[in-house]
């Protein structure tokens, strides 16, 4: 069974949902750098305020900041993790590899979710997020609106400030420039660990495909 799993993919490709389900299946924590940064921001910490100045405009936070956040989390929770939203650049991937190699616990599965631009736009502009528990819902699919209670924890739902069309365009540009090369980096360094899956199918079907790779060490 895999224990150190990276989920790559564009905005709204379902990384968070799949990471949550994997985390439950495997009994290991799920770490989302985006959710960690949003929680720092909601609590008004200096790190959160700095992060928001980047994320709200659709920029990535500087590598150094993202690495600091993830290393801190691994220090507390160990290295058996589902990584969601990290690494997001090749320098971040190299740092993660080095940190895991130093404790002899390399990554054992990398899933790259793939989704076309039109579907990304549709999903992001109909997305509502619970800033308390991180659950996401769709205005169209779930018939919910801003300020409606979260179906999981009851807190009011919000539209993320980086889910505006303007910020999304910037996020997509950086995704193409900085994050897409991360899958290619793993394709070159650990090709047998990388699997590309279409995210343009129901969540259950995506999960079923991911779990095949989780269970079979020879795939």
Instruction: Please report, as residue ranges, which positions from 60 to 79 form the binding site for ligand ADP (by CB under 6 A).
Output: 60-61, 66
Q: How many CA atoms lie within 13 A of 68 on its CB side?
A: 9
CB of 139: closest distance to ligand ADP in angstroms?
Answer: 16
Instruction: Please report, as residue ranges, which positions from 74 to 103 form the binding site for ligand ADP (by CB under 6 A).
Output: 85-86, 88, 92
Q: Whose Cβ is closer to ligand ADP: residue 10's or residue 193's?
A: 10
Q: Are 181 and 87 in contact (CB under 8 A)?
A: no
Query: Kind and range of the H or E element at 99?
Result: helix 90-102
Q: Whose Cβ is closer to ligand ADP: residue 37's or residue 130's?
A: 37
Q: Whose Cβ is closer to ligand ADP: residue 46's or residue 218's?
A: 46
Is 23 in a helix, a strand, or coil?
A: helix
Q: Are 216 and 30 in contact (CB under 8 A)?
A: no
Decide: is 134 part of the binding site for ligand ADP (CB under 6 A): no
Give the residue carrying structure tokens 């720092």: 40
Strands 4-8 and 109-114: parallel
Q: Whose Cβ is closer to ligand ADP: residue 12's or residue 107's?
A: 12
Instruction: Please report, as residue ranges, which positions from 174 to 213 form the binding site for ligand ADP (by CB under 6 A).
Output: none
CB of 190: closest distance to ligand ADP in angstroms?
Answer: 19
Q: Whose Cβ is closer to ligand ADP: residue 53's or residue 217's?
A: 53
Name the residue among 132, 196, 169 with its Cα closest to residue 11. Answer: 169
Instruction: Please report, as residue ranges, which positions from 4 to 63 form the binding site for ligand ADP (by CB under 6 A).
Output: 11-12, 15, 32-35, 37, 54-55, 59-61
CB of 115: closest distance to ligand ADP in angstroms?
Answer: 11
Strands 157-158 and 194-198: unpaired
Angle in degrees, CA 191, 196, 199, rounded to 5: 165
Q: Are 116 and 11 in contact (CB under 8 A)?
A: no
Query: Under the rule (CB under 6 A), what is the footprint of ligand ADP?
Result: 11-12, 15, 32-35, 37, 54-55, 59-61, 66, 85-86, 88, 92, 162, 171
């Amino acid at each position: 069974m895999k224990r150190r799993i990276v989920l790559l993919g564009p905005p709204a490709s379902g990384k968070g949902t799949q990471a949550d389900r994997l985390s439950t299946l495997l009994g290991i924590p799920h770490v989302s750098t985006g959710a960690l940064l949003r929680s720092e921001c909601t609590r008004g910490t200096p790190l959160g305020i700095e992060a928001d100045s980047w994320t709200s405009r659709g920029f990535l936070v500087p590598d150094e900041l993202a690495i600091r956040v993830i290393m801190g989390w691994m220090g507390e929770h160990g290295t058996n993790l589902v990584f969601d939203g990290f690494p997001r650049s090749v320098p971040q991937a190299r740092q993660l590899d080095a940190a895991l190699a130093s404790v002899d616990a390399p990554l054992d599965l990398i899933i790259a979710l793939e989704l076309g631009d039109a579907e990304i736009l549709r999903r992001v502009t109909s997305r509502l997020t619970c800033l308390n528990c991180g659950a996401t819902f769709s205005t169209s699919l779930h018939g919910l609106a801003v300020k409606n209670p979260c179906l999981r924890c009851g807190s009011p739902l919000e539209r993320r400030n980086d889910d505006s069309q303007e910020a999304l365009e910037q996020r997509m540009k950086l995704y193409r420039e900085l994050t897409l090369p991360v899958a290619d980096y793993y394709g070159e360094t650990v090709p047998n660990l990388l699997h590309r899956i279409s995210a343009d199918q129901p969540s259950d079907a995506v999960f079923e495909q991911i779990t095949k790779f989780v269970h079979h060490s020879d795939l």
